[in-house]
């Protein structure tokens, strides 16, 4: 099968999968038994709502239409990224995502921690695979297993206790110092230290949690590849150990890492719900947590759809990268 045929096939599969996600999202949030939307739980006691206000809300969210019409409108809305209005703020969900700064905050936090986790984990995995069974190998494997196994909320609380309460080095939470910005909008260069001080602890928490998986995966794949005959041949030719590890061993051991990295980046927009909540980081994860507590169904629908869409696209991209990295892969 040619690359073009493979791409067309994967695109068709991706479209079907996206439609399946849309239908499942509808079943979970829209087709559940009971009064759709639970408007009275958001706007207050239902008995306190006037008939006119309640009618306007029902019309705003399309609850006065038949289920079939609602489903068709729902599919059109998701395909055009028109997610409707938030129950909590009565503002468009798309506007709440972009204009509120939540999207940028999540990309900054998750992007930083994901890149650091992947880079640190892969580099350490390559180093310890060459020194299998040594003290360095045992130390990093034990450390990575520990941080990978600990609950995120526990690590976050411990970092707050050490660096905030005991040492008083960093702010306890938030994305910026409110008092600093109330005095007027400072220039961008003056905002960097304040932003970094608020970013450090949540980014450190997520990096400590994520790097261990990449370290263990890299170590396992590298150890397997380093036992191959062509590695012995490369060393017999007098190639340096760096060339053997990076150009020969790591290149052939990188396929599982491509999948893991793609999925990690695909989950960026999901936000780190627990971490963002602990550190009061105004991102998509914290917003999703509040939406669950508030029963803000349009927000939950939008977030779950975006998360699934990002993961699907990430898988599609990883399949393409496979063929670029390893020419031995045939598109069948």
pLDDT digits (tens, 9 = 90+) for 85-110: 787 777 888 888 887 778 888 888 88
pLDDT digits (tens, 9 = 90+) for 145-175: 888 888 888 888 888 888 888 888 888 877 7
pLDDT given at position 87:
76
pTM of the model: 0.76
Is the four-CA dihedral 308, 314, 318, 324 of positive or negative sign?
positive
Distance CA 35, CA 283 (A): 30
Q: Does position 325 have pLDDT exceeding 70, yes or no?
A: no
CA dihedral 113, 114, 116, 121 (to 10 degrees): 130
pLDDT digits (tens, 9 = 90+) for 273-314: 888 888 888 888 888 888 888 777 788 888 888 888 888 888
Q: Residue 134: which of 218, 219, 213, 207 has the closest Cα?
A: 219
φ/ψ region of 133 (left if φ > 0, alpha if ψ in -120 to 50, else beta) reads left
pLDDT given at position 185:
59
User: Helices 188-225 and 152-160 sit at what angle, rounded to 10 degrees?
Assistant: 130
List Cα–Cα distances, 30 to 2, 23, 25, 73, 142, in angstroms. Answer: 42, 10, 8, 12, 46
CA dihedral 247, 253, 258, 263 (to 10 degrees): -150
Cβ partners under 8 Å of residue 318, min gap 6: 258, 259, 261, 262, 263
Distance CA 195, CA 292 (A): 28
* CATH architecture for the domain at 102-282: Orthogonal Bundle (1.10)
pLDDT digits (tens, 9 = 90+) for 37-79: 445 444 444 445 556 666 666 666 666 666 677 778 788 888 8
Q: For the chain, give the mean pLDDT.
A: 77
Task: Report phi then psi at 203, rounded to 5.
Answer: -65, -40
Distance CA 40, CA 237 (A): 76
Range(s) within the chain of domains with CATH label 1.10.3720.10: 102-282
pLDDT given at position 90:
76
């Amino acid at each position: 099968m040619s690359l073009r045929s493979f791409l067309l096939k994967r695109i068709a599969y991706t479209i079907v999968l996206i439609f399946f996600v849309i239908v499942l999202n509808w079943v979970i949030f829209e087709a559940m038994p009971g009064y759709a939307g639970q408007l009275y739980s958001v706007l207050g006691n239902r008995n306190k709502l006037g008939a006119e206000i309640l009618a306007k809300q029902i019309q705003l969210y399309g609850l006065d239409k038949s289920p079939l019409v609602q489903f068709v409108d729902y599919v059109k809305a998701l395909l055009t990224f028109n997610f409707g209005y938030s129950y909590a703020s009565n503002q468009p969900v798309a506007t709440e995502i972009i204009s509120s700064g939540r999207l940028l905050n999540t990309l900054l936090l998750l992007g930083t921690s994901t890149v650091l986790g992947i880079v640190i984990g892969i580099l350490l995995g390559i180093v310890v695979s060459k020194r299998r069974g040594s003290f360095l190998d045992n130390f990093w494997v034990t450390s990575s297993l520990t941080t990978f196994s600990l609950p995120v909320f526990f690590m976050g609380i411990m970092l707050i206790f050490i660096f905030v309460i005991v040492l008083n080095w960093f702010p306890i939470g938030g994305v910026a110092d409110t008092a600093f910005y109330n005095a007027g909008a400072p220039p961008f260069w003056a905002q960097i230290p304040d932003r970094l001080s608020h970013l450090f602890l949540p980014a450190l928490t997520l990096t400590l949690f994520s790097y261990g998986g990449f370290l263990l995966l890299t170590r396992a794949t590298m150890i397997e590849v380093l036992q191959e005959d062509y590695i012995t041949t490369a060393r017999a030719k007098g190639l340096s150990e760096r060339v053997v590890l990076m150009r020969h061993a790591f290149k052939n051991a990188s396929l599982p890492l491509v999948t893991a990295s793609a999925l990690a980046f695909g989950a960026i927009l999901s936000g780190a719900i627990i971490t963002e909540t602990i550190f009061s980081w105004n991102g998509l994860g914290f917003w999703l947590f509040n939406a669950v507590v508030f029963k803000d169904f349009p927000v939950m629908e939008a977030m779950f759809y975006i998360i699934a869409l990002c993961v699907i696209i990430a898988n599609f991209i990883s399949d393409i990268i496979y063929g670029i990295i390893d020419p031995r892969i045939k598109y069948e």
